[in-house]
Amino acid sequence: MDDNTLVCDVLIVGGGPAGLSVASTLPDDIKTVIVHQDQEIGLPVRTSGGCWMQDVDRLGIPDGMYQRVQTTEAFSDNEHATLAFGDVVPVILDTPSLYQWIAQQSDHKDRTLLLGTKFLSARQRDDGLYESKIRARDKAFDRVISKYIVDASGWHFAVLNALGLVSKPQRLGVGTEYEYPLGDNAPDRALIFVGKKVLSGYGWVFPTVLGTLRVGVGVIQPDTDKSPRELLDAVVKDKAYTDRLGLKLEGEPIVHSGILPSVAYDDRLVFGKVIRVGDSANFATPTLGEGIRICMDLGRLLGEQLGLAVKTGRDRPLKTYERRCRRKLKRDYKWGFHVNMRAAKYTHEDWNASVRRMRHLGPDALVATFRGEFPPLKIARIFLSVIRPYLRSRLRRIRAGKA
């Protein structure tokens, strides 16, 4: 084997929360190579980092890597609602420090982390092993030979596309975010805004634990041909609009951008010894595109099951991973994608009506909608929360007519 070749048990393509979480739970002695295109884990920032305190606790994320949100508000063109989440607390993750923390959990393992390295192609050899071509800036090596490949490359679907297993998604959520100094803005207040400013998408305002304020816009393409950056510029330059949102934006912002798939959930995750996880598996919720907690959860699950597959040479553990993901996500994502497709066609009047409904939704229904969780009981509660105000209004009109 020449000096430009690495040999391993598992090649992980992608160094985001999914791929890093897989590595974190693989057995210590399984030789793993992670190929990541960025020069540093977690930078540049590609996601706004929305999550929930209950998941932060369950995942063991340390203090100092997230900002609690005490007040969340929704704005449309003519409506405003303060959202009641009850005991459920939203948080905003500091994604660079979080991703670096996940990466550290496999530092002691037989793991090689290649930064600033691009995955180019892969093929399965006659002996069943996979030969992947990569391009590193220092040109130290250009091949990785592995028994298994994990596609954690995000919306690129890099491995799946290279092997002709799954094509890249054509419908994408595309976002741009400006990060400002916090200034006089509340450190625990988050906003979402919808309507004419961001049709076929939504905007957000999130405080961070670093004392900054993230203002962003995300849209679905090709449902719209609007650029999220142009839409965001129009928002931040409209003083009357930012005054209505209660924002004071000062200083030169740092620019972040990100892309994720916005397609129906596909429950096939295992293709022989090629497995997908994270955004390559469409794990982000179809309602708000919030996926870090899910990528960590299911990435850890894949690491455990892939470890068993490597040790035993059997496929059954990978099928267990696929089955558990299907059980966790398929039903909820079917409903969530229905919500996604409807919302992408909303007019500004539809958004006004939606924000009005938010004022009447109870905490359980609001949390379920925002988290993209739709078991039958919660669906019934959401329906009742929406229909009850209408029935009361209808009854009042009937009584008034009789009087």
Q: Residue 347 has what DSSP assignment?
A: -
Q: Phi first, then psi: what are they for 130, rounded to 5°? A: -105, 135
Q: What is the pLDDT of residue 99?
A: 98
Q: What is the pLDDT of residue 369?
A: 87
Residue for token pair 């007519």: 401
Instruction: Give the C-alpha separation, 37 to 137, whole Å.
Output: 10
Instruction: Give the C-alpha separation, 116 to 133, whole Å.
Output: 14
pLDDT digits over 264-291, tens only?
999 999 999 999 999 999 999 988 888 9
Instruction: Give the C-alpha separation, 87 to 152, whole Å.
Output: 33
Q: What is the pLDDT of residue 339?
A: 87
CA atoms 52, 327, 261, 42: torsion sign = positive
Q: Which of 177, 153, 174, 173 is nearest to 165 (CA)?
A: 153
Q: Which of 119, 145, 148 is nearest to 134 (CA)?
A: 119
Please tell me the class of the 50-93+170-261 domain: alpha beta
- For residue 94, count CB atoms less than 10 angstroms from its CB and return exposed for 0-12, middle for 13-18, buried for 19 or more: buried
Query: Would you kindly state where each structural domain of the chain is located, as residue ranges?
Result: 5-43+96-169+265-337, 50-93+170-261, 348-402
The CATH code that applies to domain 5-43+96-169+265-337 is 3.50.50.60
Q: What is the pLDDT of residue 342?
A: 87
Give CA torsion, residues 351, 355, 360, 366, to 10 deg.
100
**CA distances (Å), 298 to each of 19, 161, 181, 319, 369, in order?**
10, 22, 34, 13, 21
| Per-residue pLDDT of the chain in tens (403 residues, 90 and over written 9) | 566 889 999 999 999 999 999 999 999 999 999 999 999 999 999 988 999 999 999 999 999 999 999 999 999 999 999 999 999 999 999 999 999 999 999 999 999 999 999 999 999 999 999 999 999 877 767 899 999 999 999 999 999 999 999 999 999 999 999 999 999 999 999 999 999 999 889 999 999 999 999 999 999 999 999 999 999 999 999 999 999 999 999 999 999 999 999 999 999 999 999 999 999 999 999 888 889 999 999 999 999 999 999 999 999 999 999 999 999 999 999 988 988 888 888 999 999 999 998 988 888 888 988 888 886 655 555 555 545 554 555 566 666 665 5
**In the chain, pLDDT over 70 holds for what percent of residues?**
92
Mode of pairing for the β-strands spanning 32-35 and 172-181: unpaired
pLDDT digits over 36-69, tens only?
999 999 999 998 899 999 999 999 999 999 999 9
Query: In sequence order, which residues have a C-beta less than 8 Å from that of residue 330 and are 6 or more positions away?
Result: 265, 267
Q: What is the pLDDT of residue 304?
A: 98
Q: What is the pLDDT of residue 242?
A: 97
Residue 150 near residue 157 (C-beta atoms within 8 A): no
- For the CA atoms of the chain, what is the radius of gyration? 23
- For residue 82, count CB atoms less than 10 angstroms from its CB and return exposed for 0-12, middle for 13-18, buried for 19 or more: exposed
Q: Which of 102, 107, 72, 110 is nearest to 89 (CA)?
A: 72
Residue for token pair 């995300």: 218
pLDDT digits over 371-389, tens only?
888 866 555 555 555 455 5
Both ends of the chain: CA-CA distance in Å? 92
Q: What is the pTM of this model?
A: 0.91
